[in-house]
A and B are shown apart, each in its own frame.
Chain A
Amino acid sequence: MGENTTLRWLMFFFLPLLFVYGLMHVYSSKPAQAKKTKELTAMEEQGRKVYNKYCVGCHGPNGDGNSMAAPFFKNKPPNFHTAIFRWKSTPEGTLPTDEDLMHILNWGIPQTAMPSFHLVPEIQKKAVIAYIKTFSDRWEKEKPGESIYKKLNGVPEYFGTQESINKGKELYVMNGCNGCHGDTGKGDGAAAASLPVPPTNLTYPVRAAGPKPEDTFRVLTVGLEGSPMPAFGYLSEEDRWHLVSYIAYLMNQGKK
């Protein structure tokens, strides 16, 4: 014993205690989430790494959209804890399909801060989708809604014709689109400034919803849940396609 006592205490009591404290500190500083880190499956754990590599800057370490970049955004990132997604093909109040989320990762959401991640390997994107689902327990309780892409039979023949554009233009005013999106479709309508989410500029050559007219048709049908953009499912399918025609006209303005 004697002079070795202090050393022994240090070796056998104090240092292990420090180690345990360190471990506790490390685990307690992990982002709070619906699912504990240790409960993550291998896929979700992989997704967590991908999330921390690409997504954490804007979506925040907790997935609630409180991040370093968010204060600069006019169009804020979503809160993954509520599992409310704007850009999806399923009806309001339901969860998006995996294809919807994958579509967002590949195409991005142009005109919002979400860029495209088309160069990230497929397996990593699948993993990050799995990880995003761990933020909310809705994903365990509910099933994704039915995608409207299943009901779509491609673009109708009259899409993009002058007649369809004219009808679309009438519908655009009749349904009050110009209130937010503006008379010229530039997203500068009378109500635009007071909205929590800036309305999109319809003359922009790249659509937020996706590369195809069907994607924009889908937005008109199901709306953007959690944003002021309502669903126009009550219009007939033909009318909705006329509106998409008008948007096509706006996008092609001045081109060629």
Chain B
Amino acid sequence: MSNTQDLQNLVNYGLVKAHIAMGLVFFIIVGLVGFLYSLQLDGIYPFPGIEFLSPGRVRMIHTAGAAYGFLVNMFAGLLYWAVPRFTGYRVLSDALGWFMWIALQAAVLITVVAILFLGQADNVEWGETPWWIDPIIVFWLLLHLVQFGAPLFKASQRGPLYVSGWYISAMLVWTPLVVFMGNMIPRFWSAGAGAGAVQSTFIHDLVGLYVTPVAWGLMYYFVPIIMKKPMWSHGLSLLGFWGLAFFYPMNGVHHFLWSPIPMFAQYSAVFATVAIEFAVTSVLINFMMTLRGSAEQLKYNVPLRYMYTGAIFYWITCFQCAFHVTLTFQKVIHFTDWVTGHAHLIMFGTFGLWVLGMAEYVWPKLFGKETMYSKGLSEGAYWLLMIGVLAMFFDLTAAGLVVGFDWIGLNPWIDSVNFSKPFWYFRSVLGIMMLTGLFMYAVNFWKTATAGKGLSAELRSDSV
């Protein structure tokens, strides 16, 4: 497989390009609507009285769009790149791939129309897609399973799969199950506290059983490739994967602690969430030990820096999680901006930065170029995004604590809004910062794709 010609025959470059491009477009749209919604919290709304741009509806585009428009597109694109390369087999069918690409964009756009214009949202967080589109998404995910399952299955006939293969295999099976469970059961086969338990399991499983395994799978592929050395410990890889696979699906109910869900389910969720922290730490140790001796690459290799920044943010969120899922912490921080800060650090700070890093690594290669168009844009985007999301995390965490204690103190409701406002203003400013970073990133992508001559890497005296 060392031959470049062979590799090009393995990967369908068009699909990778199309998915990553759409993912980036949706990332910007999702960022814009998130910023628009943050303005509403500041009391400034540029479109008052326009029904289909009501802040409540726009907010659902922010979450559903991030899940299905941005992440699914980005991950699918990167899977089309990574899976054939580490298994050595092509995906099932290129035609199927293009059909799935069209179907995915159509599903997302139909969702946007249904939520904004038809008012047909579903009140499942992260599953705001109207209920009639959920079976289509499940069907899409089954195609996804077949499409990427084929090379993985073929490769595992020959011998053990690489670590990425475990994560991605499990994810391919989990995702259709999770989406089916989370969107269908609470609507058609249960209600009330039972539905609440399913929904909380769904919210967490979409992160834990789709986004996390596919992202870790890609990390296990890209990090050793970029650093040109193997992972530090195979044992830790095994421990990390099986720990995640066992404990992650049980975490969900921790989203609704102190709710009418029976307490045993709440306790088991708290226990599993604390346990997952150990699995996560084992993965992190593995990655950090792999970095040992190559850390100076972070200085000039932006994709690698994205990945390690995200990894550290991942550990911060999981460490935070192990504490704030306890019933004691929940008394203060449940329903506050602490949760929002946590969600942004994991979704944007970790998975967002990871896919941006991976895409930046892949993108020039897709166009037969050695580097991105501009080192300056690349660095600028990194720093704006990284500082923006980290500051937003601290800002919202602090806001959450202030408001949480304010609620316990039984002050009138408007006080908690007034106390939050400075934090919300700051968050909007950070939103502008992150959006600027995203635009710079997108411009860089556009310029790289359209640059006439081949961009070649500078020869560095200190590069290996």
Interface residues of A (CB under 8 A from B): 53-54, 117, 119-120
Interchain nearest-CB distance for A125 vs B (Å): 11
In the A-B complex, the 6 residue pairs with the smallest Cβ-Cβ separation, listed nearest first, are A119-B412, A120-B412, A119-B410, A119-B411, A53-B414, A117-B412
Q: Write the chain B residue with the least CB distance to A53.
A: B414
What is the number of contacts between chain A and chain B, taking CB atoms within 8 Å?
A: 9
Q: B255 to nearest A CB, angstroms?
A: 27
Minimum CB–CB distance for B397 against chain A, Å: 26
Tell me which residues across on chain B come within 8 A of A53, comparing CB atoms.
414
CB distance from B409 to the nearest CB of A (A): 10
Distance to closest chain A CB from B208 (angstroms): 38
**Which B residues contact A (CB, under 8 angstroms)?**
410-414
B89 to chain A, nearest CB (A): 65
A116 CB to nearest B CB, Å: 11
Besides A54-B414, A119-B410, 7 new A-B residue pairs in contact (Cβ under 8 A), listed by A number: A53-B414, A54-B412, A117-B412, A119-B411, A119-B412, A119-B413, A120-B412
SS of A interface (majority)? loop
Docked Cα-Cα span, A119 to B411, in Å, equals 6
Q: Which residues on A sit within 8 Å (CB–CB) of B411?
A: 119
- What are 9 A-B residue pairs whose CB atoms fall within 8 Å in the complex? A53-B414, A54-B412, A54-B414, A117-B412, A119-B410, A119-B411, A119-B412, A119-B413, A120-B412
Residues on the B chain within 8 Å of A120, using CB: 412
Contacts of A119 in B (CB 8 A): 410-413
Least distance between A67 CB and chain B CB atoms (Å) = 17
Q: How far is the CB of B180 from chain A (nearest CB, A)?
A: 42
A54: which B residues are within 8 A, CB to CB?
412, 414
Q: Could you tell me the distance between the alpha carbons of A54 and B413 in the complex, rounded to whole angstroms?
A: 11
Q: Nearest chain A CB to B420's CB is how many angstroms away? A: 16
Q: What's the Cα separation between A204 and B37 when bound, in Å?
A: 39
Question: What CA separation (Å) do A120 and B414 show in the bound complex?
Answer: 10
Whole-angstrom distance between the Cβ of A98 and the nearest chain B Cβ:
21
In the complex, which of the residues A53, A54, A119, A120 has the most CB atoms of chain B within 10 Å of its own CB atom? A119
Complex: A42 Cα to B115 Cα, angstroms: 52
Residues in A with CB closer than 8 Å to B414 are 53-54
**A117 to chain B: which residues have CB within 8 Å?**
412
A54 to B418, CA, bound (A): 13
When C-beta atoms are compared, the residue in chain A nearest to B410 turns out to be A119
Instruction: Report the bound CA distance from A119 to B412 in whole Å.
Output: 5
C-alpha gap A120/B415 in the complex (Å): 10
Instruction: Give the docked Cα–Cα distance between A119 and B410 (Å).
Output: 6
Expressed in whole angstroms, the Cα–Cα distance for A120 and B413 within the complex equals: 9
* Bound-state Cα–Cα, A119 to B413, Å: 8
Q: Which of B410, B412, B413 has the most CB of A within 10 A?
A: B412
How long is the Cα–Cα vector from A193 to B311 in the complex, in angstroms? 68
A75 CB to nearest chain B CB (Å):
23
Contacts of B412 in A (CB 8 A): 54, 117, 119-120
What is the bound-complex CA distance between A114 and B411, given in angstroms? Answer: 19
CB distance from A173 to the nearest CB of B (A): 44
Tell me the complex Cα distance, A54–B414, Å. 9
Distance in angstroms between the alpha carbons of A54 and B412 in the assembled complex: 10
